[in-house]
Amino acid sequence: MDDLSAEELWEVLNFAVELKRRMKGGDRPPMLAGKVLALLFEKPSLRTRVTFEVGMLQLGGHATYLAPSDVQMGSRESVPDVARNLERWVDGIMTRTFAHSTVEALAEHAGVPVINGLSDLEHPCQVLADLLTIHERVGEVRKVRAAWVGDGNNVCHSLLLGMAKLGAQISVATPKTYGPDSKILARAKEIAKGTSGSITVGTDPQEAVRDAQVVYTDVWVSMGQESERAAKLKAFSGFQINAALLARAAQDVVVLHCLPAHRGEEITDDVLDGPRSAVFDQAENRLHAQKALLAKLL
């Protein structure tokens, strides 16, 4: 997320609004005609794969999907060699991977744009969609009071950076040993100082959501962490987004979740499917935000 300045971030979000409006009106400008995006996956996905494929199609381009078994980065072929091959054939690379270092290596060795579709450190494309959703449902992001409740994970990291760049207020509540990365947190606080934003980190979910206009959570046990499940469920007791917790938030609070959700764990059915939920707006906005990003990059 920190690769975008605040001005560039607004440019992408405003263009996403325009592209969404045009698409709803039946206008799908083929601005990426003849362009090809490689989708390089190490992790399975619903939203990331479909939205990037559909986004390229709607912009007149093409996406080619490379499954984990097709490439086997790091074992069958080195990451730099994968990058050097792909740059000869495609106009951009989107990768959904485990290690953030893989994204960085691809970007270092490929002469075409590389998009982080998810890594263990960040999920910036998700947060582009989140910021677009907040803009639509709440209003000017600069004035928003938001809360993150749960794991200080990759989505939390990108959200901290994105909200700080746009001058929002965000409170984070996690169990003591599951807070956000210290370097990302320090960088986000540094950014917030220059944008009149604010970042608060603690361990009390009830305090974090007090008067919040947006409450956001994610799964407690992410893909690849299945061995930690029992320990995490115990540690996160009391961090569930439910009606009782939301009663402390603003009356018109908007609930976000990047999906997939573990219903009954980090969030209850009545909240996820309730009138305050914007989770499927978020999912749709992955398409529009990523189309704007693709159009700018390619």
Instruction: Kindly state whether residues 16 and 50 are assigned to the same domain.
Output: yes
- CATH number of the domain to which 44 belongs: 3.40.50.1370
Instruction: Give one DSSP letter per residue of 186-209, joined into a string.
Output: HHHHHHHHTTT-EEEEES-HHHHT
Would residue 100 count as lying in a domain? Answer: yes
- Write down the catalytic residue from 96, 145, 276, 288: 96
CA atoms of 71 and 85, how far apart (whole Å): 11
CA atoms of 138 and 133, how far apart (whole Å): 8
Instruction: Kindly state whether residues 113 and 131 are assigned to the same domain.
Output: no
- Write down the catalytic residue from 120, 169, 240, 258: 258
pLDDT of residue 270: 98
pLDDT band at 201 (very low <50, low <70, confident <90, very high): very high
Residue with tokens 């009390």: 204
pLDDT digits 0-9 by tens, 26-69? 999 999 999 999 999 999 899 999 999 999 999 999 999 999 88
- Write down the catalytic residue from 126, 213, 240, 290: 126
Instruction: Kindly state whether residues 149 and 232 are assigned to the same domain.
Output: yes
Q: CB-hemisphere CA count at 13 Å for 140?
A: 4
Global model pTM greater than 0.85: yes
Q: Is 96 a catalytic residue?
A: yes
Instruction: Kindly state whether residues 114 and 150 are assigned to the same domain.
Output: no
β-pair partners for 94:
39, 115
The whole domain housing 98 covers: 6-122+285-297
* Domains contained in the chain, number: 2
Instruction: Kindly state whether residues 182 and 244 are assigned to the same domain.
Output: yes
Q: Is 218 a catalytic residue?
A: yes
- Write down the catalytic residue from 123, 145, 157, 276: 123
Instruction: Kindly state whether residues 109 and 189 are assigned to the same domain.
Output: no
- R_g over Cα of the chain: 19
Mean pLDDT (the chain, rounded)? 96
The mean pLDDT value for 264-286 works out to: 98
pLDDT of residue 228: 86
Would residue 65 count as lying in a domain? Answer: yes
> Contact at 8 Å (CB) between 66 and 94?
no
pLDDT band at 22 (very low <50, low <70, confident <90, very high): very high
Across the chain, the runs of DSSP E, i.e. the strands, are 36-41, 62-66, 92-96, 114-118, 145-149, 169-173, 198-202, 214-217, 254-257
Do strands 198-202 and 254-257 pair parallel, antiparallel, or not at all (unpaired)?
unpaired
CA atoms of 114 and 298, how far apart (whole Å): 10
Single-letter amino acid, residue 206 = Q
Would residue 154 count as lying in a domain? Answer: yes
Instruction: Kindly state whether residues 154 and 118 are assigned to the same domain.
Output: no
